[in-house]
Structure 1
Amino acid sequence: MPSTVDLLDSSLYAYGYPYEVWRTMREAGPVHHRVARTGSRFWAVVGHEAGRQVLTDWKVFTSTRGTTLRADDNSAPYPGAGKMPVLTDPPRHTDLRRAVARLFTPKAVRQLGALAREVAGSLLAELRERGGGDFVTEVAARFPLLVQAEMLGIPPEDVPMVLHATGRSVEDADDAAAGHHEVMTYYLKALGARRGQAGPDLIGTLLAARAGGLPLSDEEIVLTCDNIVVAASQTAGHAASGSLLALLEHPAAWEALRAGRVGADTAVEELLRWTAPATHLMRTAVCDTDLAGTTIRAGDAVAVWIAAANRDGAVFARPDALLLDRRPNPHLTLGAGMHFCLGAALVRVLLRTLLEELTRADASLALAGPPGWQSTWVVNGLRSLPVTVVPAEKRAPRRTVVIHHGLDGAARPGTPSVPLP
């Protein structure tokens, strides 16, 4: 039964999100108290309205005590708390966002958008020349970081190492800590080499903010770099690979997009709702409060399960259907309130550009085998997505394996035919 399902059991996510578990929980109420087998205690929010309240009301639900559930004690001090954007509340959060805001202005995003088209075209051309491959490792994972590398102060030869480190940082426990440590060590060395030299990239922008009067320690600069580079490299990459899988599993939607019957911007919003890379976002109550009729005590950990909120039938008509023309689409994939994703506009541009390059290509992609998931309760990401390239003149129906979840979270395999457009 869903009431006994451990939401921190990584195996629950071995085939994607356990939507039926969340749906049954939501039918009983939007907020549930959970105790994981490892001892972690928290409130699970699976309803959209309650989730938005938690994410927007920073005066009641703070980010300074961590934003990701831990397997044991969610009340323990969180490394980096109060020293990086994701782990601060106003006014410090406002200062740190303002310090790097110029990297994400409309002009900056437009410039990166032009580069994104070149990078996406090049990566897809390489995939086409090979006749296929793993779309995750060869395209989706590399794409965002290659586009943003110069802005993030990462020379081309360092991109593979940084990509590996940021990938580890969204895994569970020890891997996550090790990944963050690699990223921070990298930026600490870069900071030492750049001492006092402002510039147009991430470290240079933070140094300029410090020179302009914002109190920023070296530790805060390094932690902020870690925060931004992990988000920049992971969110769009997971959304991109998840979007391709969604389109391959929904050929009518793919055809509507290719034929221009659906606008790219609305399609991007629906694909962001559908993929929801961040499995959950945690906050901590700073005072006793009421949340959807449930009393939350000061110090309690409250986790908003983003994908569950994104399929709340009280907000989204036909929530389990992929509707690329869905409007309105108030998904919570990029957060809400003060902590709304700083790079949201760039994420949208990256995803739209990749979709446009995919739809205008003279070949189609087809699944060459079942997708592999990361199997973690931190990030819903594909670990692998094997595809073959089908030239336009040779397009033919393909078969794939689609996995569905039952109420207990177990996998339900099926083998529907997936015709290519």
Structure 2
Amino acid sequence: MISDIADPELYELGDPVAVWAKLRATTPVFWNEHPPGPGFWAVMAYEPALEVYRNTDAFTSELGMRIDSDPAAVSAAAGKMLIVTDLPVHQQLRQVMNTAFLPRVVSALDASMRSVVEPLVIAALEKARVDFVSEIAAILPAAIICDIMDVPRSDRSNMIELTSKAFGASVGAGIRCPAGEMERTEAHAEIFLYFNELVEQRRRKPGTDVISALVEGEMDGRPLTDAEILMNCDGLLTGANETTRHASAAGLLALIDHPGEWQRLRNGEVGIDSAVEEVLRYTAPALHVMRVATKDVRVGGELVRAGQAVAIWNSSANRDETVFADPDRFDLGRSPNRHLTFGIGPHFCLGATLARVELRVLLQVLAERVARMELVGEVRRMRSNFMWGIEDLPVSFTS
């Protein structure tokens, strides 16, 4: 059995699905040593995950939302950045930003998404080999969140690179050299500097984008501070880019590995919305979400002491045999499908609707244009204990 569930090597080179299954069967909630840190409680099963998500009285997000976070960065963002705030501040911030992510607003972006995806897929069909991650999966979410934030098109490729580095992706194409703490910190700093300029522009001339909403928004009758605005710009950009990017890539790999499911989708035997939910469950890009106990509390029968960290392993909970029949089977028609990819409760992912629509449009275009997909090289996975992602996915498409 693996000694540390948060060892990045497991997710780059190992078989985490098998490890999760053994842990759910033996120790669904256990204390995980994670040197050089103090360790944490790992929650591998569905029901105890719900216990933590729903118990906002006993758990805080303001001490970090992922293992290995920089304590100084967390301290600076706590109470200001959406993902590291607790109620009632979390709800107030969410209301300010929510107008840009309402279902009717996101649905209106459908044509824009198709205009991004379709040329990429057509171009891929004309090549013998494409890297699906860099040439398709990374481009769609970046283009759309940049639309929502009204980032100039000339700056978008740089934003993709910066957000990848900020979440620890490899530095440089085709090399196994994950971004270290310095590279991640520098990437976040560059993102902050960039958005500082955009914030000043919106103050002079506000628009209908989410940055303007932050600039003009209020909490408890006061305007948001510069720190609150910039931190949430950073959070929106990185979250929107990385989650959909990795779900798209891992979803495509699953479809290649399960050609029967691909044919079911193309033939209309399964609905597109059902397919999207199964891709989200099966790929679960955000491996874990962390909380810290504010008082002694039991989780899955285990006593968690005040001050101890608890990491909900969403990816494992999504394969809990007590909730999902034959959970390791990729089934585009799965129903019900109550996955935890976007969390649950007050911190349910703000961009969930956006991610779903992006995946729906991508799958629709692929189903319309591509008859056959195959791997034409080595799949390289991300070395990370936070994002369960793919760095390189060389494929060939046939119409």
User: Is the TM value for this pair above 0.5?
Assistant: yes
Deviating beyond 2 angstroms after TM superposition, the runs of 4 or more aligned structure 1 residues are 37-40, 73-79, 129-132, 172-179, 192-198, 210-215, 362-365
| Alignment partners' CA distance in 1, 2:136 and 2:73 | 38
1:110 corresponds to which letter in structure 2? S
Q: Distance in 2 between matches of 1:126 and 1:156?
A: 20
Match of 2:7 in 1: 9
Alignment of 1:31-110 (within 5 A): 31-70=29-68, 78-110=75-107
- Tell me how far apart the structure 1 counterparts of residues 158 and 72 of structure 2 sit (CA, whole Å): 33
**Correspondence for 2:176:** none
Deviations 1:174-193 (A, max 9, x none): 33322222211111122223
- Aligned counterpart, 1:21: 19
Matched, 1:112 2:112: no
Consecutive unaligned residues of structure 2, counting only runs of 5 or more, are: 169-179
CA contact (8 A) 1:368 1:387 kept: yes
Mapped to 2, the partners of 1:15 and 1:386 lie a distance apart of 18
Partner of 2:158: 161
Q: Return the match for 1:229 from 205, 230, 237.
A: 237
For residues 130 and 212 of structure 1, what CA distance do their matches in structure 2 show? Answer: 55
CA distance in 2, matches of 1:360, 1:351: 14
Alpha-carbon offset, residue 17 of structure 1: 5.5
Corresponding position: 1:343 with 2:368: no
Coordinate RMSD, CA, aligned: 1.9
In the alignment, the residues of structure 2 paired with residue 153 and residue 121 of structure 1 have an alpha-carbon distance, to the nearest angstrom, of 21
Encode CA deviations 1:297-347: one digit per residue, 9 max, x unaligned.
000000011111111101111011111111111111111111101111111
What per-residue deviation string (whole Å, max 9, x for no partner) do you get for residues 377-401 of structure 1? 010111010011224xxxxxxxxxx
Distance 2:362 2:376 in 1: 20
Cα distance in 2, alignment partners of residues 235 and 373 from structure 1: 15
Which residue of structure 2 aligns with residue 271 of structure 1?
279
Is 1:299 the counterpart of 2:296? The answer is no
Please, which of 187, 196, 212 is the counterpart of residue 204 of structure 1? 212
Query: Quick check: 1:127–1:133 contact (8 Å CA) kept in 2?
Result: yes
Distance 1:228 1:249, change over 3 A: same
> In the alignment, residue 141 of structure 1 is paired with which amino acid?
A
> Normalising to structure 2: TM-score of the pair?
0.93
Give the Cα separation in 1 of the matches to 2:284 and 2:164. Answer: 17
How far the C-alpha of 1:269 sits from its partner, in A, is 0.6
The answer to whether structure 1 residue 368 and structure 2 residue 376 are counterparts is yes
Whether the 8 Å contact between 2:280 and 2:341 is mirrored in structure 1 is yes
Structure 1 residue identity aligned to 2:122 = A
Q: Report the counterpart of residue 409 of structure 1 in structure 2.
A: none
Matched-pair contact (CA < 8 Å) for 2:138–2:245: yes
**Is 1:334 aligned to residue 342 of structure 2?**
yes
- Superposed counterparts of 1:114-193, under 5 Å: 114-171=111-168, 173-193=181-201
One-letter amino acid of the structure 1 residue matched with residue 130 of structure 2: G
| Identity among equivalent pairs (%) | 39
Contact between 2:373 and 2:396, CA under 8 Å: does it hold in 1? Answer: yes
Q: Distance in 2 between matches of 1:54 and 1:290?
A: 10
Conservation of the 8 A alpha-carbon contact between 2:202 and 2:215: no
Distance in 1, matches of 2:19 and 2:249, equals 24
Is contact 1:45-1:304 (8 Å) kept?
Answer: yes
Q: Report the CA distance shift for 1:140/1:194 in structure 2 as closer, same or farther (over 3 A).
A: same
Whole-angstrom CA distance in 2 between matches of 1:17 and 1:166:
26
Distance 1:10 1:297, change over 3 A: same
**In structure 2, C-alpha distance between the alignment counterparts of 1:74 and 1:218, rounded to whole Å:** 21
Within 1, Cα distance between the matches of 2:15 and 2:283?
9
Cα 1:231–1:362 shift into 2, 3 Å: closer
Cα displacement (A) at 1:151: 1.4
What CA distance in whole angstroms lies between the structure 2 residues aligned with 1:155 and 1:75?
Answer: 31
Alpha-carbon displacement from aligned partner over 1:260-316 (angstroms, at most 9, x marks no partner):
101111111111000000011000001100111100000000001111111110111
Cα distance 1:44–1:175, how it changes in 2: closer, same or farther (>3 A)?
farther
220 and 143 in structure 1: CA distance in 2 versus 1, 3 angstrom threshold: same
Distance, in Å, in 1 between the alignment partners of 2:372 and 2:5 is 37
Report deviation, 1:19.
Answer: 1.3
CA distance in structure 1 between the aligned counterparts of 2:51 and 2:267, rounded to whole angstroms: 39
Q: From the superposition, tell whether residues 16 and 234 of structure 1 become closer, same or farther in structure 2 (CA, over 3 Å).
A: farther
1:255 aligns with: 263
State the TM-score, normalized to the length of structure 1: 0.88
8 Å CA contact 2:43–2:313 kept in 1: the answer is: yes
Helix, strand or coil for the counterpart of 2:223?
coil
CA distance in 2, matches of 1:345, 1:369: 33
User: Take 1:310 and 1:77, find their aligned partners in 2: how far apart are those partners?
Assistant: 27
**Kept after mapping to 2: 8 A contact 1:197/1:207:** no
Q: Which amino acid aligns with 2:281?
A: R
User: For residues 119 and 224 of structure 1, what CA distance do their matches in structure 2 show?
Assistant: 25
For residues 354-412 of structure 1, give each alpha carbon's deviation from its aligned partner in whole angstroms, at most 9, with x where no partner exists.
00100110553211112111121010111010011224xxxxxxxxxxxxxxxxxxxxx
Q: CA deviation at 1:244?
A: 0.3
SS of corresponding position for 2:325:
coil
